[in-house]
Amino acid sequence: MMADVKRLFVVVIAVFACVGMWGCGDDVNFKWEGRSAPRVVSLVDDSLVLLYNCRSYSTCHEGSGPMGYGGCNGGCENYGLFLANYRKKQSIYWGDTSNLVVAFMSGFYRDSMVIFLKNDYSEFGFWKIGEQPKLTKKLKWSSPCSGYDGFNYTRFRPWANGNVLLIGAKGCEYAILDTATGNVNELLTEGDYTWLKDCEDVVYLDGMLAGLKKTNFGDEMVWLFIDGVLMDSLNLKKHDAYVGDYFEGAVKWNGSVAQVYLNSMNSKSHLFSNPQIYLKGVSINRKFDNQFPEIWMNISTFMDSSGKEVFYNAEDLYVIGGR
């Protein structure tokens, strides 16, 4: 009897091991892979960035294909959020992972939080530095707004009173998400908001509404508007560059930092890719910050004016408490 119990115990352990490592079944094999390369969620300030990655997996079905498998599908889970320095590579300040499968809305940052969508973009939540992500509400769309537009990369930006501005949703150019209820209603570009019509991107910063404008593809100027008033301009000519054309938008906000996709006019330029992302902060006097050290970004790699690059690999990101 004791021998039978021991054999049963061994079988149970083997079953759990099989499920944990590969998944079990006659014709399906599940396997965890490594973590993906980091991507930028949002810039925090003039030196800190929030990065994310996830852990890849594959599910293979037995059949007559190569190696005896009929086909494999992959995916990504176990999303992680990490706080790092993009001016100087060093140990990260904070990092954590979650079992939630999320879609981060890039460029959103407020009160140490980023925003994400999940469940086919039907719900939203916030992930705060030092905490686990919190799923908040279902999105309740009101006509003419009808949903998140993945083709046009709907942007989520901080708005007044803790709410969120949506730019480029289905059916409406601007909308306001009430974070307390989940209600999404159109914001009409009339009256005090008429000036928003020509903006490339808009964000609510420290009690002011900041908008970025440009003219046509190939222009060398970007304009900063605060509450509808032209406050400053960014001349790209000194960088031998002009505003490029990019499917996610050539001029936009990344946290509180202006982000411009550039095309180089000089093949010998130190810009290390084409197009290249130029970053510029906004000062407390409501103008572009001339004290903001020059920096460029390419996906998740940062480069200063001397050409020195800073980037983080998956191995550089790990779960760690704040400091």
For residues 157 and 114, what is the distance between their CA atoms, to the nearest angstrom? Answer: 10
**Going by DSSP bridges, is the β-strand pair 221-226/113-118 parallel, antiparallel, or unpaired?**
unpaired
Sheet holding 140-141, edge to edge: 140-141, 183-186, 172-177, 164-169, 155-158
For 180-205, write each residue's pLDDT tens digit. 999 999 999 999 999 999 899 999 99
Residues of the chain with pLDDT under 50: 1-25, 267-268, 270-272, 323
Residues in the chain: 323
Q: Which residue has the tokens 């100087």?
A: 88
CB 196 within 8 A of CB 174: yes
Residue 152: what pLDDT?
81
Contacts of 238 by beta carbon, 8 Å cutoff, 6+ apart: none
For residues 319 and 97, what is the distance between their CA atoms, to the nearest angstrom? Answer: 7
Residue 65: what pLDDT?
55
CB 200 within 8 A of CB 215: no
Residue 14: what pLDDT?
42
CB 235 within 8 A of CB 214: no
Residue 215: what pLDDT?
75
Tokens of 145: 């707004």
For residues 264 and 270, what is the distance between their CA atoms, to the nearest angstrom? Answer: 9
Q: What are phi and psi of 246, to 5 degrees?
A: -140, 140
Is the link from the previous residue into 133 a cis peptide, with omega within 30 of 0?
no
For every residue of 48-102, DSSP letters joined together read EEEEEEEEEEEEEEESSSGGGEEEEEEEEEEEEEEEEESSS----SEEEEES---
Residue 26: what pLDDT?
53
